[in-house]
Amino acid sequence: MARLRLGDIAPNFTQDSSEGPIDFYQWAGNSWVVLFSHPADFTPVCTTELGKTAALSGEFAKRGVKPIAVSVDPVGKHHEWIADINDTQKTTVDFPILADADRKVADLYDMIHPNASTTATVRSVFIIDPKHVLRTTFTYPASTGRNFDEILRVIDSLQLTDSHKVATPANWKDGDDVVIVPSIQDPAELAERFPKGFNAVRPYLRVTPQPNK
């Protein structure tokens, strides 16, 4: 299986989960998706991550994003783990955890890296848009918890730049200034798209207030 690259169509699959069998495309519908993997149930770092995902359910929902996790353990063990997550993280897991015992999803999404482990999935994050296009990937070592502020920040950037002819600069957060894409040069189009004006630091570096704020 070739490694997935940004811009590829995320593969569809059918797999069992903590919320019953899931056809990925059908489940995703017209939503954005954050698919993230775990090497096994009852792992300490992943327990905190699933708890954080549940705690951020409102933030994901207002962005039209559905989170879904994947672990190689069976459904029964997932239910036991969910109870533990809810208890230790003081939250309620309200999203599915795929039971990828046959590693179908792990293989489709290239989650097993032999140099890291010959059997366990690496801890990956895939941000997938409503057209099933893979837009962003992160891969973390087992020792480092995922940064959910960054995951949300990237989603904000993707959704903004999809709807406006801008890009987001280093360390950008929602509400900060953005940069105008170089392809827009026509003065009339610039005036129409950016009525708040812009600062041309260089001809190729034009800074403008975030258009949708």
Catalytic residue (choose from 34, 46, 112, 155) = 46
Are 19 and 67 part of one and the same domain?
A: yes
Instruction: Quote the pLDDT of residue 113.
Output: 55
Q: How far apart are CA 28 and CA 41, in angstroms?
A: 24
The domain that holds 170 is classified in CATH as 3.30.1020.10
Measured distance CA(180)–CA(198) in Å, rounded: 9
- Taking the chain (213 residues) in runs of 10, the rounded mean pLDDT of each run is 86 97 98 92 93 98 97 94 97 97 89 56 87 95 91 98 97 97 96 96 97 93
CATH number at residue 39: 3.40.30.10
Statement: the pTM of the whole predicted model exceeds 0.75: yes
Tokens of 109: 């999404």
Residue 200: the pLDDT is 97
- 48 lies in the same domain as 90: yes
Structure tokens, 31: 């939503």
* Structure tokens that stand for 91 in this block: 């939250």
Same-domain check for residues 121 and 20: yes
Same domain, 21 and 118: yes
167 part of the active site: no
Does an H or E element contain 127, and which?
Answer: strand 123-128
For tokens 């502020």, name the residue.
Answer: 149
